[in-house]
Structure 1
């Protein structure tokens, strides 16, 4: 088993589409309007170019991805660092890859490289398991948002990652 954590490149675009699109199947079924749920090559390339997109490879295969947003689209709701586009290839889910990647990005990138002691993310109240998953990971709900776009209530979560260092 050989795990590699690294920043994504444009050469990863097709694999990132495959991982993200597959992982977000339930999001599409729930009718949520999340850009990552409809990932295609131009969207992934834009994400990789505008943000810090990271991957976890297992034996040379990208199995998970998460993005540290540096493009500022979350600035309307938070000045804290924001993570998005978190996805694990369904063939590799429930094996801890996503958790290890998220831990690494929180610790090494957001805290270590950028020096931020807190991080935020958002998810939908109506998702059957994401809210509880993030709460188990130490995230706290800090805001309820209804953008009136059909997604219903979205929760903004915050985690103090400095206390986990």
Structure 2
């Protein structure tokens, strides 16, 4: 088992994983971009975001992206924003997605990037994602109507309260 950044050679397997993993959400009538993303969009995505993969025996199992405030698709709150979290349906319920999530959070977001906080968004009408993110320590901070089929609910997780407070004070003065 290993965790790593995506490479361009991973694009076909990554696209298949995203399409398959997001099919259930599409069946609920919620349309996330990852469900139908094409190769060109994926290439653009991996060129300006950090996309982490979890592999088992050479097979792509799970993925999680970090969108940066300076990237081509920043989150709405001036913090890095998590997205395109997906686990191959063959591996659902085995904890691999949580292993990747925990590794990215601890090793990348906290230890490497030293982030004060991170955000993410999901569909308000999704039957379990909001509850899952709340269990992971995220708190609701806002919402937006970005598409016709759902309201996006935004969540934030604070990693370092002192750094977060300092960042908030600086960002409100500007």
Closer, same or farther in 2 for the Cα pair 1:91/1:101, shift >3 Å?
Answer: same
* Pairwise CA distance, 1:160: 1.9
TM-superposed CA distance for 1:124, in Å, is 0.5
Q: Which runs of 4+ in 1 moved over 3 A?
A: none
- Paired positions, count: 159
1:145 aligns with 2:129: no
* Cα distance change, pair 66–159 in 1 and its aligned pair in 2 (3 A): same
Gaps of 5+ in 2: 162-174
Which residue does the alignment assign to 1:124? 123
Bigger shift: residues 17-26 or 42-51: 42-51
Aligned to 1:112: 111
CA contact (8 A) 1:32 1:150 kept: no
Residue 72 of structure 1 deviates from its aligned partner by 4.8
The 1-side partners of 2:144 and 2:126 are apart by: 15
CA shift, 1:97, in A, is 0.8
Cα deviation, 1:127-153, whole Å, max 9, x if unaligned, reads: 111111111111111112222x21332
8 Å CA contact 2:51, 2:66 repeated in 1:
yes
Q: For 1:54 and 1:24, how far apart are their aligned partners in 2?
A: 17
Q: Is the 8 A contact 1:140 1:158 kept in 2?
A: yes
Alignment of 1:40-79 (within 5 A): 40-70=38-68, 71-75=71-75, 77-79=76-78
Please give the alpha-carbon distance, in whole angstroms, between the structure 2 residues aligned to 1:104 and 1:72: 25
Counterpart in the other structure of 2:95: 96
CA–CA distance in 2 between the matches of 1:113 and 1:140? 23
Contact (CA 8 Å) 2:22, 2:32: kept in 1 or not?
no
Contact 1:107 1:161 in 2 (8 A): no
Quick one: higher RCO (CA 8 Å, sep 6+), 1 or 2?
1
List per-residue Cα deviations over 1:63-89 (Å, max 9, x = no partner): 0001011225234x2111101111000
| 2:150 match: secondary structure | coil
* Aligned equivalents of 1:99, 1:28: Cα separation in 2: 22
> Equivalent residue of 1:79, what SS?
coil
TM-score (structure 1 length as normaliser): 0.89
Unaligned runs of 5+ in 1: none
Relative to the length of structure 2, the TM-score reads 0.85
